[in-house]
Amino acid sequence: MKRKLFHILFGLTFITSSVSLTSCESQLGALPENAKVDGNTVLDAPTARIALNGIYFRFAHVSQDNGITQWTNNERLPAQLTGYMMYGYGTGAGAPEDNQMLSSSDIYWSYSYGIINAANSLIGGMDNLPQGRIPTAEREPIEAEARFLRAYGHFKLLTFYGQWFDHSSPYGVLLRYEAVTIGNIPKARSSVAESYTSILQDLDYAILHCPAQHEKYYATLWAARALKARVLMCRGQAGDYAEVIKLTEEIINNSPYQLEPLAKDIFRTKGASSSEVILSIAPQPNQPAYAYSRSRQFYPGASALYCATQGLRDLLTADPRQDWMVGSFRKNYANYFFTKYIAEGTVPTVVSETYYAIRLTEVHLLKAEALLRNNGSITEAKAILKEIGTHNGLSDFSKLDALTSREDILKYNYQETSKSLVAEDGQEWLCLLRLPLATVTSIRPKLTNIQQYILPVPKSEFADNSKFGEQNPGYNIDL
């Protein structure tokens, strides 16, 4: 059976080894050892919650081989594409650092569909139960978290494989609402407009039914509001920016989250315990000691090494973040150790192995961008940018004060987004691409065409799915 089909069915069935099950137990809730968790095993509320934990297992990208979270691709590739991170030992033909996309075509495909198919399996399994087997009050929150995760997977696919920036484009997502079997693989991709509608429907359900409070590695209604704001900022249709302002204000004013007084403390001492972390990915119990952990890919180098570029160092000139985010210069490779997550000379810890999907900083920056794009108050947008800067140790805002045009302040917002959120969940990349192409090219000279904004659909999809449709413009299928 072809590899892509294997990954889809694997994401559906959740066949996990005993090693993986042991490692995920304390953080995500253990699946029964050697169990096959799919829609057919959802019998009641307790088994539905076990299957829900399985979806989070896929979201966290816990490796079946070594039992650690491997969420690094969500951090690394967008930072490479934006010009702030590079492979530590030099780059070659087809490198994402040069905005060459072909070599990265598979990076989010199986990951995202693993999440989606697991969510569909759980939802379908609950749908097939006799009415009342799971009381509504228990079922709705379970389904809400599953639909949040499905929305996350579909949006990840849309922003990396669909023309998300063109609402009229036919090149959207292959939307899945049923657990994949051999018989239902053939399916056409949807349009961009249809993709956004589907994602937002799932998020609206999640906002309505997700719990208000939860452990940081589970979805809440606040995480759903934040993800919806992220989605609407990218869609950018009539009324969307006003809705982003409304959503972000609701989070800022009414949620339990508060900006960390000094953002550096999140990454050095507090991790997910920080008051501003909305959704995190927790490391597994054995992870800090693992020889090839995420932290060791930043310092000193393990199976791979990913470094800060001169571009990131230049972006942080006269910014206190440079001192702790950009480490020593590596003369032989003309790059710097990337020290946002682990300081030089230290060893991995639970904090250095924690990933961040949504933080309150992003919510503030989305509000500032929405104000600027919705003809809102420039003064208010600047105040937000100053607040975020202050929480990152800045005190001199003379450059921001001197800006008068919305276009220039939007560029400043992009720069602040990159400084604050680089190598978290790709928001530096999407914020860049929301600028006019001419501005994008002035920042990334090798990024000259909107076709470079997205990856090609993996060739295996066309081999397995005869109904998918056309390859993304600028690429060929070449089976």
State the DSSP string of 79-123.
Answer: HHHHTSEEETT---TT-GGGT--GGGTTTTHHHHHHHHHHHHHHH
Domain extent for 92: 3-265+357-464
Lowest model confidence (mean pLDDT) among 85-94, 130-139, 183-192, 373-382: 85-94
The closest of 154, 112, 198, 155 to 430, measured between CA atoms, is 155
pLDDT for position 39: 61
Better-scored residue on pLDDT, 276 or 4: 276
Contact 26, 197 (CB under 8 A): no
Q: At what angle do helices 192-209 and 136-161 cross, to 10 degrees?
A: 150
pLDDT at position 66 is 86
Q: Band of the pLDDT at 439, cuts 50, 70, 90?
A: very high
Mean pLDDT of 46-60: 95
Residue 10: predicted pLDDT = 36
Mean pLDDT of 257-268: 98
Any domain includes 478: no
Whether 215 is in a domain gets the answer: yes
Please compute the mean of the pLDDT values over residues 147-160 and round it to a whole number.
98
Residue 458, in any domain of the structure: yes
| 446 within a domain of the structure (yes/no) | yes
pLDDT at residue 368, as a whole number: 98
In a domain, residue 26? The reply is: yes
What pLDDT, on the 0 to 100 scale, is given for residue 26? 33
| Domain annotation covers residue 323 | no
The pLDDT assigned to 35 comes to 32
CATH of the domain at 250: 1.25.40.390
Contacts of 125 by beta carbon, 8 Å cutoff, 6+ apart: 38, 39, 40, 41, 42, 48, 51
- How much is the average pLDDT of 157-170? 98
Q: What is the mean pLDDT of residues 74-89?
A: 96
Residue 347 domain-assigned? no
Q: What mean pLDDT comes out for the span 240-247?
A: 98
pLDDT at 331 over 70: yes
Tokens 């995500």 belong to which residue? 28
pLDDT of residue 30: 34
Q: Is residue 157 part of a domain?
A: yes
Alpha helix (H) residue ranges in 316-377: 321-325, 360-373
- Number of structural domains, the chain? 1
- For residue 85, the cross-strand partners are 308
* Of the candidate ranges 33-37, 143-147, 323-327, 442-446, the one whose mean pLDDT is the lowest: 33-37
**pLDDT for 12:** 38
State the average pLDDT for the chain.
Answer: 91
